[in-house]
């Protein structure tokens, strides 16, 4: 008589788990903030989807520039072996997206992690920013010239 065999996925393996979505790639920023998202599909050591949740995934978006703050990545367990992940970038630049099963830096790093992600400033916004900087510089130079003229006039009046 045939026997019924139940096969279920083993423990989640970061090495076989899959990250996908536009949040793994860079983009041009429009405005002051850009929200990006990606998903994780948990898989076991035999590349089977785990189809269950409760894994302890962590992720962070680490900037290449030490002056820029690390960006937190929100991870939402969907209860079926998939995880919805999102983050919001507020500063253009190069980043490294690190995804870990367990604590960042001490767990297992996910396949493909870290992902190189770069955000370029909106060209129109960059032109506006430079224009404002130039106007501010011209205004400072104008005020400095006026101050020098006033000083020279006062010096002549004293003589």
DSSP reduced 3-state for 5? coil
pLDDT band with cut points at 50, 70 and 90 for residue 24: very high
pLDDT at 87: 97
Q: Please, which residues have CB within 8 angstroms of residue 148's CB and are 6 or more apart in sequence?
A: none
Q: What stretches of 53-144 adopt beta strand conformation (E)? A: 57-63, 71-72, 74-77, 82-89, 93-101, 108-109, 115-120
Q: Please, which residues have CB within 8 angstroms of residue 72's CB and are 6 or more apart in sequence?
A: 60, 61, 87
68-126 per-position pLDDT tens digit: 899 999 999 999 999 999 999 998 889 999 999 988 878 899 999 999 999 888 767 66
Residue 114, preceding peptide bond in cis (omega within 30° of 0):
yes
- Please give, one letter per residue, the 3-state secondary structure of 8-47: CCCCCEEEEEEEECHHHCCEECCCCCEEEEEEEEEECCCC
Instruction: Please return the burial class of 107, using the count of CB atoms within 10 Å of its CB with bins 0-12, 13-18 and 19+.
Output: middle
């Amino acid at each position: 008589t045939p026997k019924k065999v139940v096969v279920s996925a083993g423990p989640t393996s970061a090495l076989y788990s899959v990250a996908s979505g536009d949040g793994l790639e860079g983009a041009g920023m429009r405005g002051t903030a850009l929200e990006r998202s990606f998903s994780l599909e948990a898989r076991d050591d035999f590349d089977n989807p785990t189809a269950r949740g409760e894994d302890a995934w962590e992720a962070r978006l680490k900037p290449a520039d030490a002056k820029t703050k690390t960006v937190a990545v929100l991870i939402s367990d969907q209860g079926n072996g998939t995880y919805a992940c999102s983050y919001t970038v507020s500063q253009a630049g190069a980043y490294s997206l690190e995804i870990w099963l367990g604590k960042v830096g001490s767990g297992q790093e996910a396949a493909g992690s870290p992902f190189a992600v770069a955000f370029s400033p909106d060209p129109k916004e960059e032109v506006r920013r430079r224009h404002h900087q130039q106007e501010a510089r011209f205004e400072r130079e104008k005020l400095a010239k006026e101050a020098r003229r006033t000083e020279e006039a006062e010096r002549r009046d004293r003589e």
